[in-house]
Chains A and B, each alone.
Chain A
Amino acid sequence: MHKSETDHLNSLARLASSGDRNAYGKIFRICYKDIYDYIARRVGNREDAEDLVMQVFTRGLVAVKDYEDRGYSLKAWLFRIAHNAVVDHFRSKSPLAESDLIAELIDPSDVEEEVILSEEIKDLGEQIKSLSPAQSEVITLRFIEDLSVAETAMVLEKKEVTVRALQFKAIKNLQRRRRIEPGRPLDNEEVAG
């Protein structure tokens, strides 16, 4: 994240925490697409992702009053709320609706959506999703959402060393799956099992 954006968000956060709702609205307009991307990757369908983004919006609205700058970006703070919302979402789902089966979560009536979704998460995205949930989440937050190791650790409530180890294992796993050699450009090689 650019420093100027971080500073801008943090100054908006100060206004929002003192009760300026317009400032909170601005924060959300800046951040919600990243939040959506993160949530959609985790829940695997648009309806839930949209509902959860709205939930993050509402939860953040309540929590922003108590927001304190602790050295993390405001966006990381929103990711933390999003992470918790996703965890709650899966907890509240019936035991049968496990997240590992995207097909189960898509309304079968909405074929068009299924096609779009599968296009979106194909290839590397798909492989990231197939990692263990912790590895997949670390990679998403670190390299797709561009959070620092410290911020990722804060969002996931893990130690920084754990985040580092997870990202290391994840990259190794991805490399093994794609059978790539260091330095060689990536191509469309068949995925190894």
Chain B
Amino acid sequence: MNGEEDLKKTIKDIRDDPLVAEINHIERLKPRLAFRCKMSLVSRFDVKQFMEGSPTGPHKVRFMVARSAFVAATIIALAVVIFAGLTVAAQDSRPGDPLYAFKRAKEALEMAFASNPSSKAAKNIALAERRLAELEKVVKSDSVSSNTVKYLADQFKQNKRAAIETIAAVSGKQEAADLYTHLSSLDSEKDTILSRLSLGSAASVPASGAMLTVRDSSGSSSLDGNQRAAVLATDDSGQSTIKLQSGARDSTKDLEVEVQQGNRTTVAPLVGVPSVLKDQSGRFQVSISPVPQAISVNTPCEFTLNVTRTDGYPSGPLGVLVEDTVGGDLLNGGSVPVRLSPDSEGNCVLTLTKTSASVSKLVVALDTGGARLPVGEILRVGGTRAPRAPGVPVSVTATAGTTPSGKSIVTLNNGLVTVVASGDDAGCVVSSLSQSGGGQSVGPLSDTVDVGQSGTFETKGPSLVSQSALSSTYEITHTLSVAEGSVKTVYDVQLFSGAKHVVIQRHYSVQGQPPAGLLTPRTLMLPRSSSVEAGTKVLPQQTPVTGRQILPFNPVSPYAVLTSGGARVALMFPVVAPLDWVVKGNSAGVEFDPSTANITAVLGYCDNNSASDLLTKARNNLATSLQTAGRPPAEGFSVSFTSLPSSGTSREIVVTVRKQFEKWTDYF
């Protein structure tokens, strides 16, 4: 009998195997009662419409329920029979879930049974609170639809209004006061949730009720009535009309508008300047991009200047001189022109940081080897001041100092761990990490390459990047330079409030064409008394390391995990990480973005010996801090104007202001 026949026979025999009989009798995994009720309800419904019972179509849901007597009867009949099960199943549903419509129907039923003002008020407060809990869930989800937020906001406001009305009718004074206190606490809860939502989700909506101050920055009095400034408020559509003196020369050219609402201010020129200019001789053309109306204060913004010859010939070596003619605000107070050298394409990159919100003017001239060719004003840009995390105290403290060798040193402490980042040690990212109040320290964490005799290595920082209630981030820059080019590695070292880990984000930028050896393999200096595991997926064995070791990275062994003594500390720092790696045991890890070559590493203390726990916490902390830190663009106001036909002795201009933030808060 050959092998194949043998196999066939044995397979046939399997059917008679007592083990198969036993498998046949394995007890089934049964769904919980609540889920069985849910399935029973959902499968009996006109299912497609039920699935659409979401805030994208709340009216549809109500319409659907009202329309179909059969469906309504089904809800009531089932609600009576399986009320308990469904309550459990539905209570955690949120907008978009199939059972959400049932949840709302049940709430309406409960409200109908609330007999006196006191229970009505309490019920409305409870429902407003529930809408907030749903909002919180929605905020945490990956995609937030404005319809969902608007729907929840409308419901929240409706319940709040009803609660206030019914509290007024409550007879017991103490009871009314308690209800009111509870209701008021919901507002601060709402603001906390919205602060997370609004800053991460910029959108443009009319800025109604914003305060406008219109000024003529040339110093002349083009405003109607010889005023230097006019104060106005925008209407519901974000518009306001300013009056100018009739016949005022070029009267809009130097007008600027300051928009104020809440704790944000944007100053913007009403009219921009051409972003493409020719020099006086007409030989050269200069352009700039981007052309924003305003940029955020204290946030560096990169611009590209391009210089080309109008006749198409190469422009040859020349210098570009840029100067801020209004107090050097754009150039950090610099009063002398900055000289830039365009590359072979005629491009040069200019990073500008506004230090105040006022309008700045950037003027360009060309230097063609002795001769200075004026070009003119190429950028007129205002500024936006926006708080990053309003009204919350900083809970990560940072102490800055100087080492004996004159380099800067920063200590970050959140009460749980202390991180020291020092510029003293070339290649050092974090000098040490220790548990606050003593305990074993780890580090230093270094990331270095051998640049050989011909190269140089420079460490800059640490410098503060951002500080909020949730975290402090410091930047450390390593620059490796050889004749052919350089590699700049920027590390953002971030310490979070209430967390025992530090997140290190590493970004590369390469200038020129440095040899490949400068980029890879990288080497990592491990802390003393470490044990090391290295491998591709499952980490095979622990190799004790005594003293400092250099672990070379390569694509085969793309990362290292180490534990240090009994301190339950670990670090993972790969150059190329497989997407499906698994870390087991007491360690931490890394996320690698192959499209940008950026690395996020976590270094910290684990309470429960669980790497995944530490990583999850770090990931959540990072996501929250990104949301609350606010993103630089689009957080101010945009201003545009339309001239109305002149009449009588004055001209009128309609100014339209739109918000580029807080879309969601507007719904509440």
Residues of A within 8 A of B (CB): 21, 24-26, 28-29, 32-34, 36-37, 40-41, 46, 49-50, 53-54, 57-58, 61, 95-98, 104, 120-121, 124-125, 128, 139, 143-144, 146, 164-165, 167-168, 171, 174-175, 178, 180, 182-186
Contacts and interface: CB of A to CB of B under 8 A. Distances in A.
Contacts of A167: 11, 14
B345 interface: no
What's the interface size class on B, roughly? 35 or more
B397 to A, nearest CB: 32
26 contacts: A21-B46, A21-B47, A29-B39, A29-B40, A32-B31, A36-B29, A36-B31, A36-B35, A37-B29, A41-B29, A46-B31, A54-B42, A54-B98, A57-B43, A61-B48, A95-B582, A96-B611, A96-B615, A121-B29, A128-B26, A168-B11, A168-B14, A171-B20, A175-B17, A182-B17, A184-B18
B32 to A, nearest CB: 7
Contacts of A97: 612
A21 to B, nearest CB: 5
**Per DSSP, are chain B's interface residues mostly helix, strand or loop, or mixed?**
helix
A155 to B, nearest CB: 17
B17 A171 contact: yes
Given A21-B47, A37-B28, A124-B26, A53 B39 contact: yes
Contacts of A175: 17, 19
Given A25-B43, A120-B29, 12 more contacts: A36-B30, A37-B29, A53-B35, A54-B42, A54-B98, A58-B51, A61-B47, A124-B26, A125-B27, A143-B24, A171-B17, A175-B19
A53 B32 CA distance: 13
A64 to B, nearest CB: 11
B31 A33 contact: yes
A183 B18 contact: yes
A180 B48 CA distance: 51
Nearest to A178: B19
A186 B18 contact: yes
A33 B28 contact: yes
Given A29-B43, A167-B14, A95 B48 contact: no
B366 to A, nearest CB: 54
Contact of A124 (B22, B32, B579): B22
Nearest to B28: A37
A190 B51 CA distance: 49
B581 A95 contact: yes
B583 interface: yes
A53 B36 CA distance: 11
Interface in B592-642: 611-612, 615-616
B518 to A, nearest CB: 30
Interface in B35-85: 35, 38-40, 42-48, 51
Of listed A49, A165, A168, residue having the most chain B CB within 10 A: A168
Contacts of A183: 18
A164 B23 CA distance: 16
Contacts of B24: 143-144, 146
A186 B19 contact: yes
Contacts of B45: 25
Interface of B: 7, 10-11, 14, 17-20, 22-24, 26-32, 35, 38-40, 42-48, 51, 98, 579-583, 611-612, 615-616
Given A25-B44, A186-B22, A164 B39 contact: no
Contacts of B32: 46, 50
Contacts of A125: 26-27
B572 to A, nearest CB: 12
A104 B608 CA distance: 13
A171 B29 contact: no
Contacts of A186: 18-19, 22
A129 to B, nearest CB: 11
**Per DSSP, are chain A's interface residues mostly helix, strand or loop, or mixed?**
helix
B39 A28 contact: yes
B11 to A, nearest CB: 5
A32 to B, nearest CB: 5
Contacts of B583: 96
A171 to B, nearest CB: 5
A124 B23 contact: yes
Contacts of A120: 27, 29
A33 B38 CA distance: 12
B501 to A, nearest CB: 15
A139 to B, nearest CB: 6
A104 B11 contact: no
Contacts of B30: 33, 36-37
A104 B10 CA distance: 38
A37 to B, nearest CB: 5
Of listed B11, B17, B24, B26, residue having the most chain A CB within 10 A: B26
Contacts of A184: 18
B612 A96 contact: yes
A186 B7 CA distance: 24
Contacts of A124: 22-23, 26
Contact of B26 (A28, A57, A144): A144
A61 B44 CA distance: 13
Given A36-B31, A144-B23, A174-B19, A165 B43 contact: no
Nearest to A32: B39
A27 B29 CA distance: 20
A29 B39 CA distance: 7
A164 B11 contact: yes
Nearest to A117: B29
A2 to B, nearest CB: 15
| A-B pairs, 9 with minimum CB distance | A25-B43, A143-B23, A96-B612, A40-B29, A28-B43, A37-B29, A37-B28, A36-B31, A29-B43
A46 B51 CA distance: 22
Nearest to A38: B29
Nearest to A50: B35
Contacts of A25: 43-45, 47
Contacts of B22: 124, 186
A148 to B, nearest CB: 12
A182 B31 CA distance: 35
A124 B7 CA distance: 24
A133 to B, nearest CB: 15
B29 A26 contact: no
A167 B8 CA distance: 12
A185 B612 CA distance: 43
A53 B611 CA distance: 31
A32 B51 contact: no
Nearest to B24: A143
Contacts of B28: 33-34, 37, 144
Contacts of A174: 19
Contacts of A58: 51
Contacts of B17: 171, 175, 182
A98 to B, nearest CB: 6
Contacts of B29: 36-37, 40-41, 49, 120-121
Nearest to A62: B48
Contacts of B11: 164-165, 167-168
